[in-house]
Amino acid sequence: MEVVLFICLIGDPTQCKDQRLEHKVQTDNPFRCSTVSVPMIAQWAGEHPQWEIKKWSCVAQGGRDM
């Protein structure tokens, strides 16, 4: 599964977009994906302090964005 973040620029909250994380979660279970992906999301947030994560979800690989 892929983790998709909905993020907005802290300096300009009108600038928002979907961001897919590079690392895939090796499960077909959305609940398991949401549990396993928390550290990856935290790492991404630490590496991108100019962005605020508004929401996130797990989607099937190649699936639709939020």
Whether 55 maps to a domain, the answer reads yes
- The tens digit of pLDDT for each residue in 27-61 reads 888 889 989 999 999 999 999 999 999 999 999 87
Chain Cα centroid distance, residue 28 = 17
Question: Is residue 8 scored above 60 in pLDDT?
Answer: yes
Whether 64 maps to a domain, the answer reads no
**Contact present, 3 and 40 (Cβ < 8 Å):** yes
Whether 42 maps to a domain, the answer reads yes
* Number of domains comprising the chain: 1
The CA-atom distances, in angstroms, between 58 and each of 4, 6, 10, 14 are 6, 12, 23, 24
Give this prediction's pTM: 0.84
Whether 26 maps to a domain, the answer reads yes
Give the full edge-to-edge strand order of the sheet including 2-9.
16-20, 2-9, 51-59
